Chain A
Amino acid sequence: MLITCPYCGPRDVIEFTYQGDGNRERPQPASQNLDAWNAYVYDRLNPAGDHNEIWQHSGGCRAHLRVVRNTLTHEVLSTAFARGGHKTESRS
């Protein structure tokens, strides 16, 4: 599996660290909304098909990337910098 890093170009998957589901919404740090925190920590979309996920090019430029990848074929459909990280709006 090759992932195209926007800085470094196409690189082997072993250079990257998987950081999981990129659809999750992280509550504001001061949020006391337990349902939102529970959803952020434990709930996953887990689709069979296109999956929006976060990877880090830990063996390269160390940039965090937002990758759309198909979980049935392992085809990488798009990569971009994950600037902004996880979405920061609270769910409620």
Chain B
Amino acid sequence: MMEPSAYLILSGILFAIGAVGVVARKNALIILMSVELMLNGVNVAFVAVGSYLGDPTGGIFAFMVMTVAAAEAAVGLSILIAIYRLKETIDITELSVLKW
């Protein structure tokens, strides 16, 4: 059984890329994809640590996250479509009705 550090580094990199994407990009679609990336980064960590400890919980959790991510993607995308129909844009800097 190999050390999980490599997997964890991978997981960290994936998470970081996702996080930077979420914060830095303006296209809502990209942000959603970045969120997926973050979730998958976490998944990697779950699976890696799970198998290292010989505990199936990690794997189970990864499946859990995937289903939630799928649901989230479905809902998120449909919201995006709805927004696009209404505003003809998915640039988040222009979607600032919550301002103040």
Q: Are A and B a genuine interacting pair, yes or no?
A: no
Interface residues of A (CB under 8 A from B): none
